[in-house]
Amino acid sequence: MNRVEGHDKVTGRARYAVEYPAGDVAYACPVQSEIAKGRVTAIDSADAAAMPGVLAVLSSDDPPDLAEDADPELRLFRGREVAYRGQFVAAVVADTYENARAAARAVRVTYAAEEHDVLLRADHPELYRPDKVNPGFPADTEKGDVAAGIAGAAVTVDVTYRTPVLHNNPMEPHAALAAWDGGDLTVHDSTQGAAADRDTIARTLGLPPGRVRVVSRHVGGGFGSKGTTRPHAILAALAARAAGRPVKVALTRQQLFDVTGYRTPTIQRLRLGCDAGGRLTAIEHEVREQSSTLVEFAEQAAVPARTMYATPALRTAHRLVRLDVATPSWMRAPGECPGMYALESAMDELAAAAGIDPVELRVLNEPDAEPAGGLPFSSRNLVACLREGARRFGWDRRDPAPGVRREGRWLVGTGVAASTYPAKRRPSQATATAEDGKFVVRIAAADIGTGARTALTAIAAATLGVPAARVRVELGDSDLPAAPLAGGSMGLASWGSAVVRACEELLRDGRHGTADTTAEIQAGGGYATHAFGAQFAEVRVDPATGETRVPRLLGVFAVGRVIDPDLARSQFVGGMTMGLGMALMEESVTDEEFGGFTNHDLAQYHVPACADVPDVRAYWIDEDDPHLNPMGAKGIGEIGIVGTAAAIGNAVHHATGLRVRDLPITPAKLLAGF
């Protein structure tokens, strides 16, 4: 079936956050800190307040009433301390966006700057072990004797990989429209979860959740950056209260780099050992990463090593340093994406050192149960993905020797990497109602461009036994039955479970069905539930210029039951394309002297264009997993990115004989090795 909202999107009738109409609307523009650490000593807003159309100036000169226990990133203008460059220190509200922006430039802020520290280093003296890593895993785990496993191995590798700061950059910028009606607040926000956004906004403003409504019918992408409430939404609410009228806030592309999160840089050390036959004797994965001084956020980059391969000795560890930077957050496949880049690159290096085919090395070390925890897998099928991918890609024709194949001016190589991502679900509620011969399903889910409306329509129609045209799904409103956010590849599994149960109840009742899956989910467990996949890449490298091209990417995935093949393929291909950007282009460069990022727009932060991805193919195997949810489905939004960067990096080594261990793989880095 086609996307049910497709016609509205291509005709422009689908409204995004700041496109909703509002009478007598005003606009707010933030003033951002120009230092990375220190204190605001004075704010001179007299000139700004006198400019045409200005309605209010917000700053710490008149701090708003916000909850003391609110997220420090959201307690706008409550204090004068500056924690990172780009932090909101004031804002101007005016009758037009142009007037607000001009007046914001007229606000004069004086600072007492302090020496700042914005760079992650492997030997940073303030690195520490956090109590947990996102979303609640232990920071460190250990099984067996890693030192003995390495010492007794026939082949070992001891390598360090680095990944840079990466930014999510959704097509729709973070934006909000806030309007007060007495003591009630409505916010049209660009968010991945209306219910969670409502709760955070209410808590920050000191309001009962019932006094706040968040509407988010359509979202132009997020990749995790809209998974938590961002300062723009709080600013819109404060500005609307100050101006006495609805206020719109739309962040610029440059501002997105400052206040909407990013993927933390990582420094990852891998030590692997195997016997002469290629069986692993030990895995050690240590990660160093950063957070802000405001909030502790520790990405779980070493966690996937706890899932992947059979080994008698396994140690994973995370170390964190709090710097004078904005807080990192979720970006597509947090943890698995950078962590599997390092692990799968190290596995490729081990295969080369042992003289074993990289596919076969992974097959040899297939575990019977989850290596770290010992739980049985509900389903796994990584080997099937590797075998099917190798067949479709033509892996059997591969010469393992690196740096020997040429086609004209190009060196040609191929690489492989495995992928994994947890298959989880969270409690969700839904209703299903028979209305005038049709069926209406209501749930506070979010469609961030993935096709959630369409998939939920298909799930409801299949459960009810009616054509999809007779089903309408309402979502994207916190007033609807509560649902978790779109993130962690668990949206459809969570929402779909509630939709199935509500529709089943409707069939029994005849007119109305309600569902709450909390008890069902709490009664489950006993299995390790993960999606798996295998990524294959062909690259071409020009040794004269260092230019790298990727003519072919191919992925095969095991993700339970695929609800909609077109939507699934779109997500896989999108994830793989994003992984290509991670491998070759994407990097936010930290400004050591001033803080912030030097390349904070899409002219300098490069993402793949159509010409960069001429042939990306995604396939999946039939997988029946009865232990997941009523649909038997695993999430697919994130696993596509997970193995791609490693597959491309491994292919670059195969093409050139050069191993670049710090992303992205740029021409300059390759030319330095030729």
Angle between helix 491-509 and helix 452-464 axes, rounded to 10 deg: 30
Question: What CA–CA distances, in Å, run from 638 to 23, 329, 455, 557?
Answer: 40, 15, 17, 12
Determine contact, residues 301/327, Cβ cutoff 8 Å: no
Distances from the Cα of 531 to the Cα of 81, 490, 578, 628, 648, angstroms? 44, 11, 19, 11, 21
Please spell the DSSP secondary structure of 428-478, one letter per residue.
-EEEEEEETTEEEEE-----SSS-HHHHHHHHHHHHHTS-GGGEEEE-SBT
Task: Kindly compute the dihedral angle of the four CA atoms of residues 570, 576, 578, 581, in this order, to the nearest 10 degrees.
Answer: -140
Please state whether 403 falls in left (phi above 0), alpha (psi between -120 and 50) or beta.
left
Segments of 151-274 assigned E as strands: 155-163, 175-181, 184-189, 212-215, 247-250, 266-274
- Kindly provide the b/e burial profile for residues 462-487, where b requires at least 16 CB atoms within 10 angstroms of the residue's own CB: ebbeeebeebbbbbbbbebbbbbbbb
- Asked if residues 253 and 132 have their Cβ atoms less than 8 Å apart, the reply is no
What distance in Å separates the CA atoms of residue 616 and residue 117, rounded to the nearest whole number? 41
Q: Which two tokens stand for residue 496?
A: 């779909």
- Between the two ends of the chain, the Cα-to-Cα distance in Å is 51
Would you name the residues annotated as active-site residues?
638
Pairwise CA distance, residues 383 & 391, whole Å? 12
Q: Quickly tell me which residue has 């968040």 as its tokens.
A: 214
Q: Kind and range of the H or E element at 503?
A: helix 491-509
Distance of CA 141 to the CA centre of its chain: 24
How many Å apart are CA 604 and CA 602, to the nearest integer?
Answer: 5
Q: With beta carbons less than 8 A apart as the criterion, state whether 103 and 31 touch.
A: no
β-bridge mates for residue 548, sequence order:
541
Quick one: CA dihedral 534, 540, 546, 548, positive or negative? negative
The pair of three-digit structure tokens given for residue 317, joined into one six-digit string: 């560890």
**Which residues are CB-neighbours of 141 under 8 A, at least 6 positions away?**
306, 314, 315, 316, 372
| Distance between CA atoms of residues 213 and 178, nearest Å | 10
8 A C-beta contact, residue 538 and residue 579: no
Closest C-alpha among 411, 416, 451, 457 to residue 438: 457
How far is the C-alpha of 652 from the C-alpha of 549, rounded, in Å?
10
